[in-house]
Chains A and B, each alone.
Chain A
Amino acid sequence: MSTPSAPTSPGPSVPPVPVRAARPARRFVRRPWRLAAEASALIVAVVVAFPLYWMVLSAFKPAGEIESSEPRPWTLSPSLDSFRRVFQQEEFGRYFVNSVVVAVSVVVVSALIAFLAATAVTRFRFRFRTTLLIMFLAAQMVPVEALAIPLFFLMRDFGQLNTLGSLILPHIAFSLPFAIWMLRGFVKAVPEALEEAAYIDGASRARFLWQILFPLVFPGLVATSVFSFISAWNDFLFAKSFIISDTSQSTLPMALLVFYKPDDTDWGGVMAASTVMTVPVLVFFVLVQRRLVSGLGGAVKD
Chain B
Amino acid sequence: MTPVQYRQDAGLKSSDTRASSLADDYRRFVWRRVLCLGGLTLAAMTALLVDIASGPSMLGLLDVFRGLLNPEGIDAGTRVIIEDIRLPYALMAVVVGACLGLAGAEMQTVLNNPLASPFTLGVGAAATLGASLVIAFNISVLGVAAHVLLPLSAFVFAAAASLLILVLSRTLGASVHAVVLFGIALLFGINAVVGLIQFMADAESVQQIVFWTMGSLARASLDKVAIVALVLALCLPFSLRNAWAMTLLRSGEEQARSLGIRVERMRLVVLMRVSLLTAAAMCFVGEIGFIGLVAPHIARLMLGEDHRFLLPGSALAGAVLLSLSSIASKLLVPGVVLPVGIVTALVGIPLFITLIIGRSRRAAL
A binds B: no
List the interface of chain A (C-beta within 8 A of B). none
List the interface of chain B (C-beta within 8 A of A). none
